[in-house]
Amino acid sequence: MASSSAFERIALEDFTANFSTLTEHSSVALGGTVQGVSDEFFADAFHLLLVEPAPSLKGQFGPKGALFSGWETRRHNPDYDWCIIKLGTTGIISGFDIDTAHFNGNEAPEVTVQALHSNKGTPPTVDDARWTEILPRIALGPSSRHLLKIQPSSSVNYVKLNMYPDGGIARFRVYGDVSPVRPQDAAEIYDMAHVFAGGRVIFTSDQHFGVGSNLILPGRGKDMGDGWETKRSRQPGHKDWAIIKLGDTGLLSHAEIDTAHFKGNFPESCELHAAHSAEFDTCSLPEDAWTTILPRTKLGPHRQHQFQLENIHTPYTHVRITIHPDGGVKRVRLFGRRHTDAVSQPSETSVKASVTLEIETSGPPASQAPTIHTPNTFVVPALALTPETFSPFGQVIQSYPDINAVPSPRNTKITGANQGTAIKYHKLAPIVSSYSAEAGATAGLSVYHCQAITLEVGGIWPVKVLERHPCTNQAFIPMGPSRSEAGEIGEMAPGYRYLVIVSKNGEDDRPDLKSLRAFVAFSNQGIVYDTGIWHHPMAVLEGPLDFTCVETQVGNGEPLDYLIPDAFGFFLSNATVATVSRSTAMTAPGLTSIRTSGEKIEIVNQLLLPHTTEWLPVDSIEQAHDAIKSMKIRGAPAIASLAALAIASHLTKALQQDPAPEYLSSPDALKAHVEPQLQYLYTARPTAVNLGAATRRLTKVLNTSIAEGKDARAVAQDLIVEGKAIDGEDVYRNKEMSKWGGEWLVEQVKKRGGSGDHLNVMTVCNTGSLATSGYGTALGLITYLHETRKLDTAFFTQSTPYHQGSRLTAFELISLKIPSVMLCDSMVGSLFQHKGIHGIAVGADRIAKNGDTANKVGTYNAAVLAARHNIPFIVVAPVSTVDLEIENGSQIPIEHRPPLEARLVRGALYPFTSNAQGVKEQATVMVTPEDLEGVYNPSFDVTPAELITAIVTERGVAVKAEGSNVFDLSGIV
Ligand code: MRU
């Protein structure tokens, strides 16, 4: 045991001076977790990492004795007790706060702390030789906080806390500096304020109810307690502010200000200023050193506000957020890219404007292409539409799942309606006009039937026209698809998002492109353009959408009463300017397996695709189980997402019920209600482990929240947040693994003497947006190669008997406009003989510890042939598909589907015939003799690790060690 350690005790009153700008690496808010413990008989060690101070549980007893909020071990340990903690992020440790609150007479007498860095997937053991002592043996006193500073350690991500000989500790906080995580690609946009990226909150004017350092934590927190909140001010003109030091000098693009959980105490407005300084502490910077990047702007309750920033051509190191007059902000996200002189600016040829749009609005930050404002080039990100961010241009017409989130709650009248079956939000926007009386203009409703636009590669939309109405405001209310369209072959599913592009009027009475803003609106959001606001005609994404337009017109709008400048005249050349960022996702418009709106869940019925797009509501756990079991939804990640969302929806509805259901009467009643639901969902399909991983994750949150002493409603809230997170994180994971896998294959091909482009890649089954929450795994890899212009052709097998390939993968590749060729399952060998295939990418339903992989039946065949033809065979799957509980593939349960499924084929009658609604007639036919008995119909097979070249997760690529037939997956799980 190496030891290098001296320490200094710090007085409590000097906490702020010594610790306030450091990061609490161990906190659960950062993802700190207990990985192993010698004993936790009296009280569980996870308590050590909780954010809130330890409450006294004096006089409360459990089955083992007095209750303590902390870690307490049995008495009389002849040696010592230990607890291994994985820090929320890798970093340098320079101090501790060891708190023995309420342990008096049973406190731990002495402790030491050791640390190490390990990127193995499995946690280090107690006797790992790499443990280094960073805090020598020190004494602790009863019921008191011990602040300790040490020599800064090396960069570590595990610590071991040792108690000599045994006892109790309430809280254990490990402080230091984060080892920043940055994107490899300097052009990539990321949250430069994020704690993991090295961001720091270095000053707050007040943090009475919530500390400033919460502003840059991961996630959206779980309640009002984990944001930055200042005390109520009583002076007119009061304001509070906080200063964030970015993890790197950056060129900023846009920001997100999140007021989650602040429903009655959110700030009235905020503004952002930025500065460039070599100093760490910029509190004393003169005011003129600060540049406005977001002028004072209204905020609303309980939501994420995304703002495009101004004056962003110079690099900044610090950002100051000022809130008026006071209140709570949950998170601040500052998106930009590192300032490296190398990053090129687009060439200035002519005045151009375009919008970049991240197809997926879930997950990490919206646009990946930076905001560009040069005299002639305007590229703006499309950000989430909220009433506050749109207020300079008009109003947003929508309801609010949480009525406490309505904007300007004091001025918005909300009443029950329709005999209590509805909530009415009164007059969210007026219809106004300024026509002269003699014009005889009247207000009226028109309908727009909009077709979906097609974005350019990288999610770019060139803005070629803006219009305005000088005498009337104009409302657009989405009405959903016109029925006749839904389900047509090749016709897209109804759209549920659209672009809103606006700009203010300039001095020259033309659009002021500096004020150009773009938003993504959902089909449950209507907008009203204020009179005279320049705006882009309706641009619908994904699928056709109808709108009601409410405006005042003369007659039927005969004299066109709107102005369109000569289409920017000089803008007609359709070369657009925008950086194509590699990680910008391209998801087949309208192709998503699940869609949600509030607690409503719908799935596309994959049994009827591609010829019929039928959205099925999933209103209960039972319906979710049935949808999974009957394969109306399939694909390991997608079924896990549906299970998680079903639990979240179930509990969201429960929380809204009045009176509340019995199982919300107590945490134990809730546990007794939810646990069987989770076990039931887990039984829907046996092979795909992601489903189990999701139910286990929710079970863990259930137990943790209950152990934290939360009431049933708070526990239910935590489960809802976690359930949505399981779905929400999926797209980001898929993009990450697709990038890892795509780049790895390109390198492999180059190593084999190839050019690394014009690649032919084959896949099996369907692993795209329909099998996940978006983008896809193995099909994501193929999409990534297409996006980066490395792909020639995608080859895919039919994957009978369910035809995931011929029905679903074909549908996705066509929509993504990716060149592709289908082959029957029996033709793989012939393909490898006659076509230069550079790689095979497949998904997975369960990966054993040694790398043996279960996937759609037929995968093993392809692997054997790939080995025969020496073609790289890549498995692409999220970490949640790796099951470290099982050593090898022989232990993977293989689902056998009903024999009938292998005898039937479903599809559209051919030649096509359509019903009255224009929906193609479908039929199911039996291809076998009626009295056939013997049918072998396993749904999956297992490919042994020795036939697999690489396994890719969102954490990287694993290959087998030289001469080994198995994988060590520890580095990528
Ligand atoms: O029976 P399915 O269609 O659910 O099988 C799906 C697969 O085998 C996929 O390859 C796997 O689930 C990965 S999906 C990203």
d(CA 256, CA 918): 44
Q: Distances from the Cα of 415 to the Cαs of 263, 892, 931, in angstroms?
A: 18, 55, 64
Task: Choose one of 592, 845, 876, 937 to mutate for the ligand 1 pocket test, by most ligand atoms within 8 angstroms of C-beta.
Answer: 845
Are both 199 and 103 inside the same structural domain? no
d(CA 25, CA 452): 46
Are both 40 and 146 inside the same structural domain? yes
372 within domain boundaries: no
What is the CATH classification number for the domain harbouring 778? 3.40.50.10470
The label of the residue with tokens 């996940």 reads 772
Nearest alpha carbon, ligand 1 atom 15: 767
Are both 560 and 445 inside the same structural domain? yes
| Best CA proximity match to 300, nearest among 404, 441, 165 | 404
pLDDT tens per residue, range 703-756? 988 888 888 988 998 898 888 888 888 888 898 899 999 999 999 998 888 888
In the predicted structure, residue 366 carries a pLDDT above the cut 50: no
Mean of the pLDDT values across residues 896-903? 92
The amino acid present at 634, given as its one-letter code, is: R
422 within domain boundaries: no
The maximal CA–CA distance of the chain, rounded, in angstroms, is 98
pLDDT tens per residue, range 155-208? 999 999 999 999 999 999 999 999 888 887 777 889 999 999 999 999 999 999
Range ranked top by mean pLDDT from 21-30, 66-75, 440-449: 66-75
Q: Judge if the beta carbon of residue 881 lies within 6 A of ligand 1.
A: no
Q: Could you give the dihedral angle defined by the CA atoms of residues 891, 892, 895 and 896, in that order, rounded to the nearest 10 degrees?
A: -50
Give me the long-range contacts of 898-907 (CB less than 8 A, separation at least 24). 898/937, 899/935, 899/937, 901/801, 901/802, 901/937, 902/800, 902/801, 902/935, 902/936, 902/937, 903/801, 903/927, 903/928, 903/932, 903/935, 904/801, 905/801, 905/803, 906/607, 906/608, 907/611, 907/807
Q: Residue 765 CA: which ligand 1 atom is closest?
A: 10
935 within domain boundaries: yes
| Best CA proximity match to 823, nearest among 796, 857, 801 | 796
| pLDDT band at residue 546 using 50, 70 and 90 as cut-offs | confident
What tokens were used for 440? 């005889």
Are both 779 and 821 inside the same structural domain? yes
Q: Which of 825, 845, 852, 941 is catalytic?
A: 845
In the predicted structure, residue 355 carries a pLDDT above the cut 90: no
Give me the long-range contacts of 715-718 (CB less than 8 A, separation at least 24). 715/667, 715/670, 716/651, 716/654, 716/655, 716/664, 716/670, 717/222, 717/223, 717/655, 718/222
Sign of the Cα pseudo-torsion (595, 876, 85, 885, in order): positive
415 within domain boundaries: no
Say how many Å lie between the CA of residue 955 and the centre of ligand 1: 20
Q: Is 845 a catalytic residue?
A: yes
Question: Can you give the residue range of the structural domain that contains 37?
Answer: 7-178
- CB of 761 closer than 8 Å to CB of 784: no
Mean of the pLDDT values across residues 363-370? 41
Cβ neighbours, 10 Å, residue 875: 29
Which of 579, 602, 624 is the last residue in one of the domains? 579
Q: Residue 688 CA: which ligand 1 atom is closest?
A: 12
pLDDT tens per residue, range 766-825? 999 999 988 899 999 999 998 888 999 999 999 999 999 999 999 999 888 899 999 999
Are both 108 and 164 inside the same structural domain? yes
Helix ranges (H only) for 223-355 are none
* Residue 285: exposure state from Cβ atoms within 10 A (0-12, 13-18, ≥19): middle
Q: Judge if the beta carbon of residue 768 lies within 6 A of ligand 1.
A: no
Are both 688 and 791 inside the same structural domain? no
Are both 204 and 240 inside the same structural domain? yes
d(CA 525, CA 375): 33
Are both 810 and 951 inside the same structural domain? yes
774 within domain boundaries: yes
970 within domain boundaries: no
In the predicted structure, residue 287 carries a pLDDT above the cut 70: yes
786 within domain boundaries: yes
Which of 178, 211, 235 is the last residue in one of the domains? 178
Res 576: pLDDT: 37
Report the 3 state secondary structure along 10-54.
Answer: ECHHHHHHHHCCCEECCCHHHCCEEEEECCCCCECHHHHHCCCCC
Q: Judge if the beta carbon of residue 685 lies within 6 A of ligand 1.
A: no
Are both 98 and 235 inside the same structural domain? no
Are both 605 and 722 inside the same structural domain? yes
Q: What is the DSSP string of 781-812?
A: HHHHHHHTT-EEEEEEE--TTTTIIIIIIHHH
pLDDT tens per residue, range 875-898? 999 999 999 889 999 999 999 999
Which of 699, 731, 763 is the last residue in one of the domains? 731
What is the CATH classification number for the domain harbouring 646? 1.20.120.420
Res 559: pLDDT: 52
Nearest alpha carbon, ligand 1 atom 6: 635
E strands along 918-964, which residues? 922-926, 940-943, 950-953, 956-959
Q: In which order are the strands placed within the sheet that holds 846-848?
A: 882-883, 846-848, 853-856, 940-943
Q: Judge if the beta carbon of residue 945 lies within 6 A of ligand 1.
A: no
Number of domains forming the structure of the chain: 5
Cβ neighbours, 10 Å, residue 806: 21
Are both 744 and 768 inside the same structural domain? yes
- CB of 390 closer than 8 Å to CB of 500: yes
Q: What percent of the chain has pLDDT over 70?
A: 90
Helix ranges (H only) for 497-545 are none
Q: Judge if the beta carbon of residue 636 lies within 6 A of ligand 1.
A: yes
What is the CATH classification number for the domain harbouring 81? 2.60.120.260
What does the radius of gyration of the chain's CA atoms come to, in whole angstroms?
29
Q: Judge if the beta carbon of residue 862 lies within 6 A of ligand 1.
A: no
Q: Judge if the beta carbon of residue 845 lies within 6 A of ligand 1.
A: yes
Please provide the average confidence, as pLDDT, over all residues in the chain: 86
Are both 159 and 229 inside the same structural domain? no
183 within domain boundaries: no
Q: Residue 777 CA: which ligand 1 atom is closest?
A: 15
**Residues facing residue 61 across a β-bridge:** 66
